[in-house]
Amino acid sequence: MKVTLIAFSLTLFAFLTHWVLWRIHIPRRQTAALLTIFSLVLLGGWAACSLTSVKAAGWGLDGPWQYLHVGIFHTAMMLGYVVAYSAIEEKSPSMTILSWVAKAGNKGRSREEVEMLLLRNSPIENRLQAMVRDRMVDLRQGHYVLTAKGRKWATVFHWWAGLTNAEKGG
Amino acid sequence: MRKKGVEPVLFAWYPIIVLAPVLALATNCSAHVAVARISGNSGPYRAIVRAAIVGLFVVVTLTLVGCSRLTLPSRDVVAYLVLNIVAYLALSFDYFSFVNLGLTSLRIRMLREIQAAGGSLAGERLGRLYDDRGLTNLRIDRLVSGRHLVLQDGRLYSQKGVFLAIAMLFDWLRWFVVGPRDHQGRGSQYMQSTIQRGKE
């Protein structure tokens, strides 16, 4: 019971810390900031649970396996939240269309309006720019060239798609 | 005999309870590969769901067996069960997102296209392979064929469903997490500027 309460409390505390900080200022590198906040809260929680006074009050953790139990839960929640946050940070085109059409109610939207909504954003150009920015590819004399990082990602997904018989995405 | 009120100390079975979510995730991944290979290309998401259920069975079984070997009181059993199931669901969500990225991400598709061309591809050729209008039409067609939108007399109407509920949920989460100053997200800001430009 104690391990469960500590694990849930630490995750809740990390979320609240992030929520309050975001109300004050939204950092430029949001994912990195989230990972830092959650990791620091875990380390702080572990340190607090090893204090003699906390242990005397019945809230200490006993032995490495209990620390690991809290750590596995917290890390799983942190990664899950970071993944979900990417959808909060940037809306996908399909979700954008769905909520935009829903807001029009009974009037609906013409297909041209929806096309214009997405086309003005130059989706292909935006993605290529993002890939250059993330150093997945380099743009050299009009050619997109895979970087070492991009090659690793492409290989991982190629290997995984082969393993699971999946088709190319997009 | 264990003293009353003392947390069960670390017998041989406790590590099994601790590692149950990770072992269940490993089972989930293995089961997904096996189911996907056996069932071929008949719906990738079906294989993901089946594998996730197998993993869920593993995490529940390992936790219950571990707790019963430690003869824990029922409130501790429930607490460990809740802790491990939630951890496993979070890990499964991460795995699903990884698989989904490979299935739906345009960026990953373009990376693989460049790799298949020997690691370098002319921007002009990429532009021919992927054009904005084709991509936009594909998205709209997918939403219509998936019955998330209805196309009637050239106009698109919203169809109530899980996808729309998820879109609304993320709108609400954006408002809750980021606050009212940016609650509509980049997509809506973009929409408003697009509509404004359209009027001009």
Q: Do A101 and B149 touch (CB under 8 A)?
A: yes
Same domain assignment for residues B98 and B181 = no
Q: What is the residue range of A98's domain?
A: 91-121
B residues 8-67 closer than 8 Å to A (CB): 9-10, 14-15, 17-19, 21-22, 32-33, 36-37, 40-41, 44, 47
Same domain assignment for residues A25 and A85 = yes
- Number of structural domains, chain A? 3
Closest CA to B8 of A7, A6, A66: A66
Higher pLDDT, A125 or B87: B87
Q: Is the minimum CB–CB distance between B91 and chain A shorter than 8 Å?
A: yes
The answer, yes or no, to whether residue A70 has pLDDT greater than 70, is: yes
- Number of structural domains, chain B? 2
In angstroms, the separation between the Cα of residue A38 and the nearest Cα of chain B is 15
Same domain assignment for residues A133 and A97 = no
Percent of chain B with pLDDT over 90: 33
Q: What is the pLDDT of residue A170?
A: 52
Same domain assignment for residues B103 and B151 = no
Domain boundary (B107, B141, B158) is at B107
Same domain assignment for residues A66 and A28 = yes
Residue A46 pLDDT class (50, 70, 90 cuts): very high
Same domain assignment for residues A61 and A102 = no
Give the global pTM.
0.80
Q: Do B114 and A144 touch (CB under 8 A)?
A: yes
pLDDT (average), residues A62-84: 94
Out of A30-34, B91-95, B190-194, least confident range: B190-194
Domain boundary (A38, A71, A89) is at A89
Same domain assignment for residues A85 and A156 = no
Percent of chain A with pLDDT over 90: 45
Q: What is the pLDDT of residue B38?
A: 86
Same domain assignment for residues B64 and B134 = no
Q: Is the minimum CB–CB distance between B129 and chain A shorter than 8 Å?
A: no
Question: Which of B32, B100, B110 would you mutate first to test chain A, the one with the most A CBs within 10 A?
Answer: B110
Out of B27-31, B84-88, B108-112, least confident range: B108-112
Highest mean pLDDT among A10-19, A136-145, B34-43, B145-154: A10-19
Domain boundary (B76, B107, B138) is at B107
Q: What is the residue range of B53's domain?
A: 14-107
Q: What is the pLDDT of residue B42?
A: 66
Same domain assignment for residues B103 and B154 = no
Q: What is the pLDDT of residue A169?
A: 52
Asked, for residue B138, whether it belongs to a domain, the answer is yes
pLDDT (average), residues A99-124: 83
Angle at which helices B14-39 and B44-69 pack, to 10 degrees? 160
Q: Do B108 and A169 touch (CB under 8 A)?
A: yes
Residue A167 pLDDT class (50, 70, 90 cuts): low
Same domain assignment for residues A126 and A147 = yes
Among candidates A4, A143, A158 on the partner chain, residue whose Cβ is nearest the Cβ of B115: A158
If you write DSSP's letter for every residue of chain A in order, what string do you get? -HHHHHHHHHHHHHHHHHHHHHHH---SSHHHHHHHHHHHHHHHHHHHHTSHHHHHTT----HHHHHHHHHHHHHHHHHHHHHHHHHHHS--HHHHHHHHHHHTGGG-EEHHHHHHHHHTT-HHHHHHHHHHHTTSEEEETTEEEE-HHHHHHHHHHHHHHHHTTPPP--
Interface size between A and B, measured as CB pairs under 8 A:
289
Same domain assignment for residues A36 and A102 = no
Same domain assignment for residues A109 and A67 = no
pLDDT (average), residues A44-62: 87
Chain mean pLDDT for chain B: 82
Chain mean pLDDT for chain A: 88
Same domain assignment for residues A107 and A154 = no
Strand partners, A109: B156
Residue B22 pLDDT class (50, 70, 90 cuts): very high
Same domain assignment for residues A113 and A160 = no
Q: Is the minimum CB–CB distance between B163 and chain A shorter than 8 Å?
A: yes
